[in-house]
Structure 1
Amino acid sequence: MQISMHLLRIVSVLVASELFHLVCGGISAEETLSESDADFCHGGLSLMYPGLAVDRCLVVPRERSLRERLSSKWGAPQVRWEHAEKEKRYTLMMVDPDTPSRCNPTKSHWRHWLVVDIVGSDLRKGDVKGSVLSGYRRPTPPRGTGLHRYQFMLFEQQGSGPLSLSCEEASSLGTWDPQAFVKRFRLGRPLAALQFLTRNAAE
């Protein structure tokens, strides 16, 4: 019995070590979403890059240089939400919670894009107009930091007051607290959320 328990502990340590390696910098032969990462997406939000459509949670494949194009060539995607009400206004945010890595997110969240006052009629057409509080920044995970999640969240704005970043928030993209922003402007829960995972294009 003691030998069996000892072997079980060894196997558990090895499995945990392998999982840590895969999440924190390791490259698996076929990268797939975890159940929790897949469950993040809801509400029917869709993104359209020149060579990549995202309408569900996914890991960006290495094929067709998609990771390289995301990180160095393509600008902001078209963002479409067909359930938007024409006269209402919406806020869209894009963040990376895995900065500098998912296992050591000391600068989470990194703000990649923040647009407010998006009119519903434009959002239904995939045209994200509005007041840009943070310009779009491409997904550029550092080498050796594993897969990063790039999360898009859409909120309905309440009231007519202006939304803005504080001086402290505007001074840095990293260590941003999106929930504090949401609470400050009473945005509530995201109506829709979407994410893709990608890693450094050279890996």
Structure 2
Amino acid sequence: MASRQLWFSFLQLPGTVPMKMCAMALFLSILAAAVWLGLSMTTPESSGGGANPGGEEEGKGCVPTLLPKADIGLCGTLEVFYMELGNVSCKIIPKCDLYRQKITTWPQPIVKFPAAMDGAQYLLVMVDPDAPSRRDPRMKYWRHWVVSNITAADLKAGNIRGNVITDYQPPTPPPTTGLHRYQFFVYLQGDRVISIPTKENRNRGAWRLQNFLQDHRLQNHETSTQFMTEHDGEFTPPDY
């Protein structure tokens, strides 16, 4: 109490107006700093910003999260759209809202390559290199979809039609095998005739992708991407 009286007596001394203003400014600055410190101590801490396998981000609801940095090497300019989720390129399918179950029944996605060259013809390949699991990929590359003779116009529009060599099969990772990568590659086909022997085409697993590419003189893909998802306990996976 005595200190407050001394403070106000000082402020009332004649000839101390500049000093009064400086002292008042200092007092207000200290008060503001104290208020800010109190608010910051009561604010919840951030969760850290890492990829959340469950797919929920605070304030954003149920949305896909970005792939870990170790898995972004294939993330090119290819876009892959599934109903309800939108573009899942370079993302993890969320567990929330049953999306990992839903994706096993949804039809083929819309795949777009905006930079496709006018007049060119393309080949699309979708594979799972983690069959039956990433630790034990003895059935890589599981062939999910192969379509040749896709025009640039259709690829730009996301209308995947042409010569369907292998029908689309949705992602169906087995239980307890963790996240699977589903990879998409687009190759410039040119005038090549693309085919897979009937006997080989019956079995999707253990596909020799590199041999297929070499046989058709397809060296480097034009673009690519991948997404991840895992088993959610409600669907019957394929027999690996």
- Identify the TM-score tier after normalising by the shorter chain: 0.7 to 0.9
SS at match of 2:213: helix
Contact 1:89 1:156 in 2 (8 A): yes
Partner of 2:71: 37
For residues 144 and 108 of structure 2, the distance between their equivalents in structure 1, rounded to whole angstroms, comes to 10
Q: 1:68 aligns with which of 88, 91, 101?
A: 101
Q: Identify which of structures 1 and 2 has the higher relative contact order when contacts are C-alpha pairs closer than 8 Å and 6+ apart.
A: 1
Aligned length in residues: 172
Partner of 2:178: 146
For residues 111 and 179 of structure 1, the distance between their equivalents in structure 2, rounded to whole angstroms, comes to 13
- The one-letter amino acid paired with 2:71 is D
Task: Report matched runs for 1:115-130 at 5 Å.
Answer: 115-130=147-162
Contact 1:45 1:55 in 2 (8 A): no
Q: Is structure 2 residue 218 aligned with structure 1 residue 187?
A: yes
Contact 1:55 1:194 in 2 (8 A): no
Partner of 2:57: none
Q: Is structure 2 residue 139 aligned with structure 1 residue 107?
A: yes
Identity score, percent: 36
Q: Closer, same or farther in 2 for the Cα pair 1:55/1:70, shift >3 Å?
A: closer
Contact 1:87 1:119 in 2 (8 A): yes
For residues 38 and 161 of structure 1, the distance between their equivalents in structure 2, rounded to whole angstroms, comes to 30
- Which runs of 5 or more structure 2 residues have no equivalent in the other structure? 1-50, 54-65, 235-240
Q: Closer, same or farther in 2 for the Cα pair 1:55/1:66, shift >3 Å?
A: closer
TM-score by length of 1: 0.80
**RMSD over equivalenced CA pairs, Å:** 1.7
Partner of 2:207: 176
Contact 2:67 2:227 in 1 (8 A): no
- Which runs of 5 or more structure 1 residues have no equivalent in the other structure? 1-28
For residues 192 and 224 of structure 2, the distance between their equivalents in structure 1, rounded to whole angstroms, comes to 24
Contact 1:47 1:77 in 2 (8 A): yes
Contact 1:116 1:132 in 2 (8 A): yes
For residues 50-92 of structure 1, the C-alpha deviation after alignment (integer angstroms, 9 at most, x for no partner) is: 11222531111112221111012x1101111111112110000
Partner of 1:11: none
SS at match of 1:39: coil
Partner of 2:168: 136
* Greater displacement, 93-102 / 55-64: 55-64
Moved over 3 A (4+): none
SS at match of 2:103: helix
For residues 118 and 211 of structure 2, the distance between their equivalents in structure 1, rounded to whole angstroms, comes to 27
* Greater displacement, 78-87 / 96-105: 78-87
SS at match of 2:196: coil
For residues 118 and 97 of structure 2, the distance between their equivalents in structure 1, rounded to whole angstroms, comes to 37
Q: 2:129 aligns with which of 91, 94, 97?
A: 97
Q: Is structure 2 residue 196 aligned with structure 1 residue 165?
A: yes
